[in-house]
Amino acid sequence: MTLQKILVYLGATTPHDHSYTNAVKELGERLARSGKTLIFGGSKEGTMTTLADAVLHNGGEAIGIFTKALPMDFLYPGLTQTIMTDDLVQRKTEMFRQADAIIALPGSFGTWDELFDALERIKVDKIHHRPAKPVAVLNLHGYYDGVANLLARSIQEGYTTKRYANLLYSASTVDDLFAWLASNDKTA
């Protein structure tokens, strides 16, 4: 599978620690320079703005999947393409449909919801022997250590089978994310 369209889940707020924002900016610049297309929630709020700015200001393409459920003044202006959905459920479905690979950056409820939704969709794809989209988290400063611990506990308790233990890759740097993308890109 060619990994051209990279879906990024991330926050619509700006974190206190600037190293998170710097990593978002680095990711956006790298996506643009590598010719990857960004798929994201389409908001002009928080780190979503930082990511879209970095992609677009470096000559990349950014596709926003936005919903009528949010105020239109949250929509990032000047995207390469904007796809509108009626609600948040359709938004998640369309983002997943558009993506070749998925990356979750540090975020909050919406980011976590999207990440777990994507993991469940990938699990169902594997059950039906359909190609699974690769998914990773940027585990900057150990942000997603709790998710890794939860997955390990779920396997230990028998809620998740070991078959699905490797659905989620954890990268500690943007360089690590790009090495992971390259290893999953069948055209690389």
Q: Rg of the chain's alpha carbons, rounded to an integer?
A: 16
Q: In the beta sheet, which residues pair with residue 157? A: none
Residue 22 Cα distances to 26, 49, 148, 178, angstroms: 6, 12, 24, 16
Instruction: Please tell me the pTM assigned to this model.
Output: 0.95
Q: How many C-beta atoms surround the C-beta of residue 164 within 10 A?
A: 18
Residue 26 lies in a domain: yes
Looking at residue 126, what is its pLDDT? Answer: 81
Residue 187 has pLDDT above 80, yes or no: no
Residue 86 lies in a domain: yes
pLDDT band for 186, please (50, 70, 90 cuts). Answer: confident
Residue 24 above 90 pLDDT?
Answer: yes
Instruction: Give the CATH number for residue 74.
Output: 3.40.50.450
User: Is 16 within a domain?
Assistant: yes
The answer to whether residue 188 is domain-embedded is no
Q: What is the pLDDT of residues 124-176, one digit of tens each?
A: 988 888 888 999 999 999 999 999 999 999 999 999 988 888 899 999 999 99
Task: Give the rounded distance of the alpha carbon of 156 from its chain centre.
Answer: 27
Kindly state the percentage of the chain with pLDDT values over 90. Answer: 88
Domain count, the chain: 1
Residue 175 domain flag: yes
Residue 39: domain span: 5-183
